[in-house]
Amino acid sequence: MASVTYDHVTKRFGDVTAVSDLDIEVEDQEFLVFVGPSGCGKSTSLRMLAGLEEITEGRILIGDRVVNNVAPKDRDIAMVFQSYALYPHMTVFDNMAFGLKLRKTPKEEIKRRVHEAARSLGIEDLLDRRPRQLSGGQRQRVAVGRAIVREPAVFLMDEPLSNLDAKLRVEARANISRLHLRLATTFIYVTHDQTEAMTMGSRICVLSAGVLMQLDSPQNLYDFPDNVFVAGFIGSPAMNFRRATVRQENGDMVVDTGDFQVVVPPAHARHFPEAIGKEVVFGIRPEDIHDPQYTPPGIHTAQVPAQVDVVEEMGNEKLVYLADSQREGLIPLVARFDPRTRPVVGNTVSIAFNMDNIHLFDATTEQALRVGRERTDV
């Protein structure tokens, strides 16, 4: 068990900066997730912690120890790889025991630990097999088992679920969360999948092009994104964005996108004291766009006309892609409608924005204009 500190860590490959001035403190027993699109530096960050990549600038600490020049084997870490990286010429038992043997663990102890880990993962009857005789899901569990038996201070996982099919992935996700609770060890997990990040992480570190965009709890990332990138990355379907200007009209805050003008209720407007008169990016999540007929009670709405372009029936909801009815070539909006609505493709309908949950970002810096973090709608 140990905390992990990235102290202004930078990684350059030649002229390319893969990770730029990463400054994070991971607490003991925390489940931290690095998430971001491919090439954002999340794997590199993990590999630097593992000792598989050199650190160009800055320091990495595990516990109180600076590990910049410590070999991977002496860092007290275990890692699960995306490709699992099992040793093909060894049995499952030997795969799991390999690290312990290298550490001169007594034979009996090795046996005990391997069997214990195998039992907890449900792979005890596979111990004599070789990796090529296993299914993808089994291999994934062996890879996890190989890490568990080591009883490391920090677990590193590099997209360990991305090679599983959708159903197995959901199962394995829950298993890893359970494992984290049971082992009470620091986990650092890399994924490009925001669902994995949201469901597993106690905190999530969103990276883009090697830069830390936001580090926060899943709910805070969702409710209070610091910038346009995080707002667009977290949530599926993604948040809708429009360029707009903000002005004051009769004491109300009005957001004007050129196509429509909506009034921000005073209770929410007070979160954006600096917004008046600014060029902004107006953001609204799909679930905050309603069919006026099925608007939840107690919210402040603003109605806007829009043309139904495509409807996706999801069963529990309808994803409605809206094009603006007046002009073509505009960024369409996506809305999650109540399943009872009957949108007809081609029709112009009225849609209701939940104005209590809108987001405003500075158009040039793309940073959130929001001050304070209490939700308006509760």
Partner 1 sequence: MASRTETLSAKPIEQTALDWREVIKFGALLALTLFWMIPFFSALITSFRTMNDINVNGFWSLPREITLDNFVSAWQRGNVNKYLLNSFIITLPSLVGMLFFSTPSAYALARFRFRLNRFFYFMFVAGTLLPFQVLMLPVFRLTNILGLYDTYWALIFFHTAFQLGFCTFVLRNFMRTVPEDILDAARVDGCNEFRIYWQIMLPLSLPALAALATLEFTWVFNDYLWAIILIKSDSLRPVTAGLATLQGQYITDWPVIVAGALIATLPTVIVFFALQRYFIQGLTLGSGK
Q: Is the dihedral angle over the CA atoms 120, 126, 129, 134 positive or is it negative?
A: negative
136 binds partner 1 (CB under 8 A): yes
87 binds partner 1 (CB under 8 A): yes
- At 367, list the tokens: 């940073």
DSSP H or E stretch at residue 343: none
Contact yes or no for 79/148 (Cβ under 8 A) = no
> Considering the complex, what minimum distance in angstroms separates the CB of residue 184 from partner 1?
21
133 binds partner 1 (CB under 8 A): yes
Query: How far, in Å, CA of 114 to CA of 130, rounded?
Result: 15
Which of 16, 71, 166, 184 touches partner 1 by CB under 8 A? 71
82 binds partner 1 (CB under 8 A): yes
- Residue type at 278 in one-letter notation: K
Instruction: Report the DSSP pairing between strands 240-249 and 252-256.
Output: antiparallel
Touching partner 1, residues 158-197 (CB under 8 A): 163
> Considering the complex, what minimum distance in angstroms separates the CB of residue 148 from partner 1?
13
Contact range with partner 1 by CB under 8 A, out of 73-81, 214-222, 234-242, 262-270:
73-81
Which of 84, 155, 229, 282 touches partner 1 by CB under 8 A? 84
Inter-helix orientation angle 92-102/107-121, to 10°: 130
128 binds partner 1 (CB under 8 A): no
Give the other-Cβ count within 10 Å of 368's Cβ. 22
Which of 36, 51, 225, 283 touches partner 1 by CB under 8 A? 51
Which of 1, 70, 85, 263 touches partner 1 by CB under 8 A? 85
Query: How far, in Å, CA of 44 to CA of 46, rounded?
Result: 5
Is residue 329 helix, strand or coil?
coil
Touching partner 1, residues 89-108 (CB under 8 A): 89, 98-99, 102-103
Touching partner 1, residues 10-49 (CB under 8 A): 47
Contact yes or no for 19/9 (Cβ under 8 A) = yes
Contact range with partner 1 by CB under 8 A, out of 28-36, 132-140, 188-196, 215-223:
132-140
Q: What share of the chain is helix, strand, coil (3-state, %, to 5)?
A: 30, 35, 40
Task: Looking at 156-263, list the stretches that DSSP marks H as alpha helix, in order from N- to C-terminal side.
Answer: 166-183, 194-200, 218-223, 228-233
134 binds partner 1 (CB under 8 A): yes
Q: Which of 210, 207, 214 is nearest to 58 (CA)?
A: 210
Task: Looking at 51-203, list the stretches that DSSP marks H as alpha helix, in order from N- to C-terminal side.
Answer: 92-102, 107-121, 136-148, 166-183, 194-200
68 vs 295 by CB, closer to partner 1 = 68
> Considering the complex, what minimum distance in angstroms separates the CB of residue 125 from partner 1?
17
> Considering the complex, what minimum distance in angstroms separates the CB of residue 161 from partner 1?
11
Which of 7, 10, 20, 81 touches partner 1 by CB under 8 A? 81
298 binds partner 1 (CB under 8 A): no
Applying CB under 8 A, which residues contact partner 1?
A: 47, 50-52, 71-73, 77-79, 81-89, 98-99, 102-103, 130-134, 136, 139, 146, 150, 156, 163
